[in-house]
Amino acid sequence: MEIKGKKILVVGLARTGVAVARFLASRGAKVTVTDMKEESELADYLMQLEDLDLNLELGRHDKHTFLMSDLIVVSPGVPMDISPLLMAKAQRRVVISEIELAAAFIKAPMVAITGTNGKTTTTTLAGEIFKACGVETFVGGNIGNPLIELVTSGNDVAQVVVELSSFQLEGIQRFRPKVAVLLNITEDHLDRYASYQDYIDAKLRIFENQTVDDFAVLNVDDPLVAACAATVKSRVFPFSQRKELAEGIFCSKGIIVYRWQGSELRFDTAAFKLKGVHNIENIMAALASTLLSGADPIKAGRAVESFKGLRHRMEFIREVGGVAYYEDSKGTNVGSVVKSLESFDKGITLIAGGKDKGGSYAPLADLVRERVKHLILIGEAKERIEAELGNLTDTHKAATLEDAVAIAHRLAKAGEVVLFSPACSSFDMFKDYAERAERFNAAVRALAGGDCR
């Protein structure tokens, strides 16, 4: 990719925009950064660009700049259908994501992971497996460090593991991972996409440039994922919790079995610290992607056994009066909450709600009816969730998250669980899901009695 002397527009500042701007400037590009936020709102990021000679267009998007750019690089938080980008595409300006830009300069083989749920856990675990095998590995993308930071660092790694959102995949052209993983697809981000099919199509782009020399790791228990097996050009490596596979990786009676080209490996899930039915899928995907990439099976197994999981994903907080409190603030969509509810048989007091993302809550109906004893709703979405699910169980509305915890404490009995799994984003009441999690955790820790951990 030729950069020197080119007029390149970076759309969206934040961390990714800063990293992209710095990289482009270092390669001799004529860089302009545009963001709809005002200078005062972007002060922290602008400080990181003070030493660079670049143009800033803040508080607006100048259509002329879009049309006069040789290349436009879009940060993941910026929708691809804003009018200046649509106009630029119509005039055949090249519009790409930061992932596409970075991949053009990375030589190391790449494992790319996407899906509605489980991306971050799977990506992190895959990275831990490679590192346990002594492989110098960069882990980033939609998790932690933007992929372009690997390029700017100059580090010569042997392996890359990247988490990808649908937003990032919208802007690829030649991006081609050696191993592409699709965990699942359920309704999400319908506040951004015109239709569910548009969201699905964005996810499937992860396989777009693969060849028969590459691998597609697919969750064949998910009908939407399984359906794409016939369309990908790469070698399909399936994983399943529901059926035995002649080739692939599956779980049966607590044993994960990996079968490929005549060899078979077995991993006992009883030794794993990471629990939950959804995490078995994540573990199988991480094992598949790393073993296909040459990871040592014994070291891979040990890495999985020692992996404790990530914060804000089905995290046990404490027990109060015999009631266990779990925080799953990263459960920002309905599909994620389905998996969380499936981790408990019954006696659940579920706290849910937040900023509505446009999808249906109907997939939760059977689980709410069968396993949720009390449903406590918060945030902007509480009225809509109540309309769809409120008649299925004992339902309450709370003004704040702290109120919801207090109500749950009053209702839940010994031997039951209180689960905070919102099915919504956090932006109606909190800065992000992490702040929301800390508020829940603080409220739980403030309850009288019980053991804090």
* Domain residue limits, the chain: 7-92, 101-306, 315-452
Confidence of residue 430 (pLDDT cuts 50, 70, 90): very high
**Residue type at 356 in one-letter notation:** D
Distance between terminal CA atoms of the chain?
51
Mean pLDDT of 301-325: 89
For 135-155, the three-class secondary structure string (H helix, E strand, C coil) is CCEEEEECCCCCCHHHHHHCC
Mean pLDDT of 317-332: 93
DSSP secondary structure code for residue 231 in this structure:
T
How far is Cα of residue 108 from the mean position of the Cα atoms in its chain?
Answer: 22
Residue 132: closest CA among 275, 305, 318 = 305
Looking at 253-392, which runs of residues are DSSP E strands? 255-260, 263-268, 315-320, 323-327, 348-353, 372-378
Confidence of residue 452 (pLDDT cuts 50, 70, 90): very low
* pLDDT beyond 60 at 453: no
CB 206 within 8 A of CB 185: no
pLDDT score at 189: 64
> Residue 32, SS3?
strand
* Phi, psi dihedral angles at 322 (to 5 degrees): 80, 0
Do the domains 315-452 and 101-306 match in fold?
no
Q: Give 96-134 pLDDT, tens digit per residue.
A: 999 999 999 999 999 999 998 889 999 999 999 999 999
Confidence of residue 186 (pLDDT cuts 50, 70, 90): confident
CB 350 within 8 A of CB 341: yes
Kindly write down the DSSP assignment for every residue of 411-441, as one continuous string: H--TT-EEEE--SSBSTTTSSSHHHHHHHHH
Q: Residues 6 or more apart from 237 whose CB is under 8 A from it? A: 215, 216, 217, 218, 247, 248, 249, 260, 288, 292
DSSP β-bridge partners for residue 35: 58, 60
Tell me which CATH homologous superfamily contains domain 7-92. NAD(P)-binding Rossmann-like Domain (3.40.50.720)
| Fold held by 315-452 | Protein-Tyrosine Phosphatase; Chain A (3.90.190)
Give the other-Cβ count within 10 Å of 196's Cβ: 18
Give the other-Cβ count within 10 Å of 238's Cβ: 22
Distance CA(384)–CA(380), nearest Å, equals 8
Token pair of 141 as six digits = 């993308």
Mean pLDDT of 237-247: 97
Q: What class is the 101-306 domain?
A: alpha beta
CB 69 within 8 A of CB 9: yes
pLDDT score at 335: 86
Confidence of residue 313 (pLDDT cuts 50, 70, 90): confident
How many C-alpha atoms does 79 have within 13 Å on its Cβ side? 14
> Residue 35, SS3?
strand
Token pair of 96 as six digits = 């790409």
H or E segment to which residue 300 belongs: helix 297-306
Mean pLDDT of 79-89: 93
* Average pLDDT of every residue of the chain: 93
pLDDT score at 449: 64
* pLDDT beyond 50 at 401: yes
Q: Give 1-43 pLDDT, tens digit per residue.
A: 899 999 999 999 989 999 999 999 999 999 999 999 999 999 9
Q: Give 339-369 pLDDT, tens digit per residue.
A: 889 889 899 999 999 999 888 999 999 999 9
pLDDT score at 79: 85
Residue 414: closest CA among 344, 325, 319, 322 = 322
Of 316 and 232, more confident: 232
CB 184 within 8 A of CB 225: yes
* pLDDT beyond 50 at 333: yes
DSSP secondary structure code for residue 360 in this structure:
-
pLDDT score at 388: 96
CA quadruple 347, 372, 434, 269: dihedral positive or negative?
A: positive
* pLDDT beyond 60 at 175: yes
